[in-house]
Structure 1
Amino acid sequence: MCQVFISADPALYDSRARSVRLHGVATSIKLENLFWQVLDEIAQRDGMGVPQLCAKLYDELVAERGEVDNFASFLRVSCGRYLALQLSGGIPQDASISIRSLNAQQVLATEGHRSLLARAA
């Protein structure tokens, strides 16, 4: 079983920091390369760069929740949800289809039986 996971290219789990501007303040976010790759794919789908995507996600999260406790963890979870929603058919595999063009309610309806945490319990 473990061979499936340990055979991953070590470059994928190397981490690096990138500078982004959130609410006009330059900050650094450190993530593993795999997550930066997924964020780049998401950003490209909507004609953005990763810094612009991070700023947009941050602003929308603040507007919805009022504060952000751990933005790097939020980004990791967002990447996982993106990949899971692609597998469930909620987000098309075709990267030419922008995320913003999708109906959020229809996408979320493909999540099925809630979160991975609920399945694990």
Structure 2
Amino acid sequence: MCQVFISADPTLYESRARSVRLHGVATSIKLENLFWQVLDEIAARDGMGVPQLCTKLYDELVEERGAVDNFASFLRVCCGRYMALQLSGGIPQDASIPIRSLNARRVLATERYPAASTAQHRQAA
């Protein structure tokens, strides 16, 4: 089992910090290279760069939730959900289809582990 995971290219799990401006304020975000690659793919789908995507995600998160406790962790979860939603068919594999063109409710309906189910699963364990 472990061979599936340990055979990963070590550059994928090397961390790299990037400076991103969020409303004129330079912020350093440290993520593993794999996550930077996924963020680049997500951004490219909608004609953005990673800094623009980070600003958009940050703004929408603040609007929805208020304060942002750990933005780097949030970005990692975004990447994981993006990949999981592609596997479930909610987000097309075709990277030429912009994410902004998708119906969010339809995409989220394909999610295998929605937040409420995860919380219920933890309580049952």
Please state if 1:114 is matched with 2:118: no
Q: Which residue of 2 aligns with 1:46?
A: 46
In structure 2, C-alpha distance between the alignment counterparts of 1:50 and 1:92, rounded to whole Å: 20
> In the TM superposition, what are the counterparts of 1:39-118 in structure 2 within 5 Å?
39-115=39-115, 117=118
Cα deviations across residues 93-120 of structure 1 (Å, max 9, x unaligned)? Answer: 0000000000000000001352584567
State the 1:36 CA deviation.
Answer: 0.1
Q: CA deviation at 1:24?
A: 2.0
Distance in 2 (CA, whole Å) between partners of 1:59 and 1:40 is 18
Contact 1:20 1:29 in 2 (8 A): yes
Q: 2:42 is matched by which residue type in structure 1?
A: I
Alignment TM-score, normalising by the size of structure 2:
0.91
Unaligned residue ranges in structure 2 (runs of 5+) = none
Instruction: Return the letter of the residue paired with 2:3.
Output: Q
Note if contact 1:23-1:59 (Cα within 8 Å) is conserved in structure 2.
Answer: no
1:11-35 per-residue CA deviation (whole Å, 9 max, x = no partner) reads 0000100010113211100000000
Aligned residues: 121
Runs of 4+ in 1 over 2 A off after TM superposition: 112-121
Give the gaps of 5 or more residues in structure 1: none
In structure 2, how many angstroms separate the alpha carbons of the residues matched to 1:25 and 1:114? 33
CA RMSD of aligned residues (A): 1.5
